[in-house]
Chains A and B, each alone.
Chain A
Amino acid sequence: GDSVTQMEGPVTLSEEAFLTINCTYTATGYPSLFWYVQYPGEGLQLLLKATKADDKGSNKGFEATYRKETTSFHLEKGSVQVSDSAVYFCALSPNFGNEKLTFGTGTRLTIIP
């Protein structure tokens, strides 16, 4: 079945550092890929997405590129801020049938001033 593997957290960085959160997936066909962010005490919000190979999703300074050859969708940001502290979830969705979203386990990010 489909699966998503995220780098284990927690991740702690200083403000203005470069961020990478790794995400790899296993799926048949050509899934869509997503990053969600969850701020403390809130639900998940869609951060960015990519629906086909080589697409780059971007939002709020975050980027992720859909790499089919390496089955990866790593999240990056060039200069993190304290306000980026949150839990980040990678997810995939098959583009056929009635299959549900498959989520990774989440990576907790803490940014220190």
Chain B
Amino acid sequence: DGGITQSPKYLFRKEGQNVTLSCEQNLNHDAMYWYRQDPGQGLRLIYYSQIVNDFQKGDIAEGYSVSREKKESFPLTVTSAQKNPTAFYLCASSRPPPEAGGYGYTFGSGTRLTVV
């Protein structure tokens, strides 16, 4: 079955380290997204990509970086510049417009990042 795989499910980072969260999809979706969710909070968009080799900043991009070298993959790096990285990170994908409007997003199961 097609879907989105996020790994690892749990990740621990020491102060000052960069870490990379993996997101892979086999849905043949063009667009991919990264969201951050803090306890009891809604979703905040970090970065998104509508097509390979192109991506845009979302609402809270500072301290994060992404790449989109393949259609299937959209890894997120949490850099040491991100001062409060402990959160739940969600990856999603969607079909390109105009199809996207009627189908919404498919989400991965998330990665919980904790700074130790």
Q: Mark B42-63, 1 if CB is under 8 A from A, else 0.
A: 1101001010000000000000
Asked if B108 and A51 make an inter-chain contact with CB atoms under 8 angstroms apart, the answer reads: no
Interface residues of B in 1-58 (CB under 8 A from A): 4, 6, 33, 40-43, 45, 48, 50
Bound CA–CA A8/B48 (angstroms): 28
Q: Give per-residue flags for B102-116: 1 if the beta carbon is below 8 A from chain A beta carbons, else 0.
A: 101111111010000
Residue-wise interface mask of A (77-98) relative to B, using a CB-CB cutoff of 8 A (1 in contact, 0 not): 0000000000001010111111
How many residues on B have C-beta within 8 angstroms of the other chain's C-beta atoms? 26
Nearest-Cβ distance from residue B21 to partner chain A, whole angstroms: 13
- Mask of B72-116 contacts with A, CB within 8 angstroms, 1/0: 000000000000000000101010011011101111111010000
Q: Tell me how far the C-beta of B1 lies from the nearest C-beta in chain A, rounded to whole angstroms.
A: 14
Q: Which residues from chain B sit less than 8 Å from chain A, CB to CB?
A: 4, 6, 33, 40-43, 45, 48, 50, 90, 92, 94, 97-98, 100-102, 104-110, 112
Please list the residues of chain A having a beta carbon within 8 angstroms of any beta carbon in chain B.
31-32, 34, 36, 41-46, 49, 51, 89, 91, 93-101, 103-106, 108
